[in-house]
Amino acid sequence: MKKDYLLLLVVALAAFALPMILPGDYYVEVFLFMGINILVALGLSLLMGYAGQISLGHAGFYGMGAYISGALSAHLGWPVPLAALMALVATALVAGLIGWPTLRLKGHYLAMATLGLGIILYILFVQLRSITGGASGLAGIQPVHIGGFYLDTPRRYCYLVWALVILSFLFSINLVRSRTGLALRALHYSEVAASTLGIDVAKYKLQVFVFSCVLAALGGILYAHYITFISPETFGFMYSIKLVVMIVLGGMYSLWGALLGGAFLSLLPEFLHRLEDFEVMVNGLILLMILIFLPGGLVGLLQKIGEKIRGHS
């Protein structure tokens, strides 16, 4: 566990240094969006790796954060922190409402329920024209500022995003070590055994699910207030799939999988510009190949390599 904190320190230093080293705003912006992806992926990683549940609607929660906070600031002129808080609370409530009935049941009902919710939210983003601007998008979202200091350059905003990424990782590492984390690990081995020990399986799963959705919403809020213009496509089903690919690629059973997978998949489009139409299929193929040939993901691969090196020396 000490290793986790050490790693986090390394990541924090890298996140502090990179925006200064990277040449030009374009690369800083790529790094910024990478941070947002990792933030959303981290929540999903907790849900998939520790609660053993899948969400196929995280793009919807990401969108909820973006649209609620964005609409409140664009239409009603709410200050950003207040709008953001409102978005987080609303997302937590909706997540609770979906999670409560589905997580009480054994099996994988949550996956289908979140798939449905994702679709419904997408429909709402398109249909509620007076609030969301419909298919043509919502403009006029206020940028973030502290007093008179505006975080409107990629470099400044990058620090805000990555500060939140680091904080979320810190919180998640602690969560995994806490009573909740231990309970989740217990029910990972045997749900029945865990519940006979008096562990309220459903409650812990629900807590992780809600937290994971709140992280997704936070990602959406950060996205909305940076871009200041949002439209529904960003929050469609494909993004939910991409998040699942990030987790599986990085490694499902470690929080660091979210970091590696998120980083990898954020950079991939930079290299595969010409792919466009193939991108959908490539995502699916990555997912299948990793599951079949590298079930531990990149983290698992690194661990194996590490063990080999130690074994030889």
Partner 1 sequence: MAQLVQYIFAGLTMGVIYALTGVGFNLIYNATGVINFAQGEFVMLGAMFLYTFQEVLHWPPFISLPLVFLMGGLVGVVFEYGVVKPLIRLGVITVIIGTIGASVVLKGGAMLVWGKNALAVEPLISEKPVAFLGASLNTQVLVVLMVTAIAVAIFWYFFGFTILGKAIQACSVNPLAARLAGVPVERMITLSFCFSGALSALAGGLIAPITLAEYDMGTMLALKGFCAAIIGGLGNNPGAMVGGLLLGVMEGLSAGYLSSGYKDALAFLVLILVLFWRPEGLITRGKGERV
- Beta strand 149-150 with 145-146 is antiparallel
Which of 6, 139, 278, 303 is in the footprint of partner 1 by CB under 8 A? 278
Q: Is the separation of the CB atoms in 73 and 83 below 8 Å?
A: yes
Nearer to partner 1, 68 or 287 (CB): 287
* Binding of partner 1 by 123 (CB under 8 A): yes
Displacement of CA 256 from its chain's centroid (Å) = 13
Using the contact rule CB under 8 A, the part of the chain among 21-29, 133-141, 218-226, 289-297 near partner 1 is: 289-297
Other CB atoms closer than 10 Å to residue 206's CB: what's the count? 21
Query: What does DSSP assign to residue 153?
Result: S
What is the smallest separation between the CB atom of 111 and partner 1, expressed in angstroms? 7
Which CB, 55 or 266, lies closer to partner 1? 55
SS3 category, 146? strand
Please report where in the chains the tokens 């029910």 appear, as a residue.
Answer: 187
Closest CB 162 distance from partner 1, rounded Å: 29
Backbone angles phi, psi at 191, to 5 degrees: -65, -40
CB of 241 to partner 1, least distance (A): 6
272: Cα within 13 Å, side-chain hemisphere:
15
Which among 32-40, 100-108, 148-156, 262-270 is the span making contact with partner 1, rule CB under 8 A?
100-108
Binding site for partner 1 (CB under 8 A): 48, 52, 54, 56, 98, 100-102, 104-109, 111-113, 115-117, 119-120, 123, 127, 191-192, 195, 201, 237, 241, 244-245, 248, 277-285, 287-288, 291-292, 295
